[in-house]
Copies of this chain bind each other. A is one copy, B any other.
Amino acid sequence: MFNRSDLLIVSAAVVAIGAAGVTRYAHLGDVTAFGCAALAVALLASLVGRSVEQLGERLGSGGTGVLQSALGNLPELFIGFFALKAGLTSVVQASIIGSMLANLLLVLGAAFLVGGLKHGSQKFDSAQIRMTMVLLLLATAALVMPAIAHGLHAPVSQHEKPLSIVISVVLLAIFALSLPASLKRRASTDPVPAGHEPPRWPLWLAVSVLAGASVAAALVSDWFVHALEPAMGTLHISPAFAGLVIVAIAGNAIENVVGIQLAARNQMDFAVSVIINSPLQIALLMAPMLVLLSLFTATTLTLVFTPLLVAAVLLTVLTVAIAMLDGESNWLEGAVMIALYAIIATMFWWG
């Protein structure tokens, strides 16, 4: 059943949803409404992740991967979809790249920092991590290719929509192909790692929490997007910064706090694996889903990210991939990664 930390999150989520609802309809100011909605979204994202984990452990470790992939990104997908409906294309584009950056620099950097301060230099050396990074590199190269071609090869400019759709289908196909391997890998390589607990929640509770949190996430995502635009105006935040930092962290990065906890417990292989799987899923699943979903809205989402987004994600993925191959981390590397994230985020402040 619920332990203390579960209870804390559930009750905080209920309070935040309530506050978000009240501020939304009572017109208590744009920024307050936005803050409450952001908090509620982040808590629901974390709750969806937690229930998927509990459910997955019931179903056997193989099922977790599929479930996490299919449902773990649900809150982010809701936000993206409502933002597209509201015509906030540049927010959505920035949030896709921002989610990748936040995980690869901020969350991974925090994991290295916290883990390194507690345990000194830490090693991680699983073949799975190296393979995930190689796939992430290749997937990122594919993802940003339309933007590169747009900037460097004029004739492509007239064909961006079909190009983005085709690449999205290719990326989704790669994701589908990767599922069986991912299932098998988890089943074989995760033989109940040290410190791993048996499922605490009975099946009915896991399903209920998942269903409840998902429905609530859909609702609150709408409020979040609705409050985003006026809040951006009041706080003078550019769409690029809002997407890159705020939406990315609320919708995606918070749920990966578990990775930092694992690093603190010195389970580095597991920690790194959880954290870098997230940007891979964004490139292979989230981004293409949003492109295809945009076909059902009035707005068209293409993969033509702005040049600075492309430069930031390529530089980050290449740098982090090389840092991963090195197979060691320490707190200083973590601190520099967080600093790099802050520097990149600052660049987008002026939009």
Q: How large is the interface on A (under 10, 10 to 19, 20 to 34, 35 or more residues)?
A: 35 or more
- How far, in whole Å, are A340 and B149 apart by their CA atoms in the complex? 14
Does A178 sit at the interface, judged by CB under 8 A?
Answer: yes
Contact A336 B148 (CB under 8 A): no
Q: Do B156 and A350 touch across chains, with their CB atoms under 8 A apart? A: yes
- Complex Cα distance, B325 from A153, in Å, reads 31
Asked whether A135 and B332 contact (CB < 8 A) given A347-B149, A347-B153, the answer is: yes
Quote the shortest CB–CB distance from A198 to chain B (angstroms). Answer: 30
Contact check, A325 vs B325: say whether CB atoms are below 8 A apart: yes
In chain A, residues 327-351, which have Cβ atoms closer than 8 Å to a Cβ of chain B?
Answer: 328, 330, 332-333, 335-337, 339-340, 342-344, 346-348, 350-351
Q: Please indicate the chain B residues that have their CB under 8 angstroms from the CB of A322 in the complex.
A: 133-134, 137, 318, 321-322, 325
Docked CA distance A318–B155 (Å): 26
Chain B residue numbers with a CB within 8 Å of A138 are 319, 323, 333, 336-337, 340
Q: Are B158 and A350 in contact (CB under 8 A)?
A: yes
- Pick from A19-27, A64-72, A159-167, A254-262 the stretch touching chain B: A159-167
The residue in chain B whose Cβ has the minimal distance to the Cβ of A162 is B346
Set B130, B137, B163, B308: member contacting A328, Cβ < 8 A: B130
Complex contacts, A347 vs chain B, CB 8 Å: 145-146, 149, 153, 156, 163
Determine the distance from Cα of A314 to Cα of B314 in the docked complex, in whole angstroms: 12
The 4 A-B residue pairs with the shortest CB-CB distance, nearest first, are A152-B307, A155-B350, A153-B308, A149-B347
